[in-house]
Amino acid sequence: MRYLKLLLVMPLLFLLQGCWLILFTDIHGPDDPGEAPQSAYLAVTMPRTTMENSISLTDAKPVKKSGKIYIKDNLMFVTEVNEGFHIYDYSDPAHPMQKAYLQVPGATDVAIRNNSLYINQAVDLVTLNYTGSSVAVTARTRNIFPSKKSPDGYWAPAGNNEIIVNWIPR
């Protein structure tokens, strides 16, 4: 009988210990309840009109922070996270050659069908026509993606008519 009582009391003691930790440890955030938590990153914003006119095809440049890779026919697109895409001639996979750089601030992904590139540019879906030597925006659907979140999980309000295109360390 004595062991039965002990078996019944032990789980209750463990539960109370958990309550004690919750009540008397600071797991609720900053000392000042009005103080908002802060990200270790700063939001990089761009006026919407500047962002919409920022897409351009330039000379090839070195990769700094690569992301996803997309291969279509003899072309390879390597994402430069939140900045654009490196375009390679991939006709010889053992020796890909850089052709150009597609600057698209805020871009993180691409899908391709025929000669059309579908790119998420921050909060917009942009359709481009790529011919190998030129690029032209053929469509833009605004505000279909959520605003970019910082790498440590914070959201930041953008100003009126401004779009967050990247996050940089403070």
Whether the predicted model's global pTM rises above the 0.75 cut: yes
- Specify which residues 88 forms β-bridges with: 76, 98
How far apart are alpha carbons 147 and 136 in whole angstroms? 25
pLDDT tens digits, 110-146: 999 988 999 999 999 999 999 888 999 999 999 999 9
Cβ–Cβ < 8 Å for 54, 47 = no
pLDDT tens digits, 85-118: 999 999 999 999 999 999 999 999 999 998 899 9
pLDDT value at 159 more than 90: no
pLDDT value at 84 more than 70: yes
Query: Taking the CB of residue 15, how many other CB atoms lie within 10 A of it?
Result: 10
pLDDT tens digits, 3-55: 666 566 566 555 556 554 454 444 444 445 556 678 999 999 999 999 999 99
Cβ–Cβ < 8 Å for 60, 84 = no
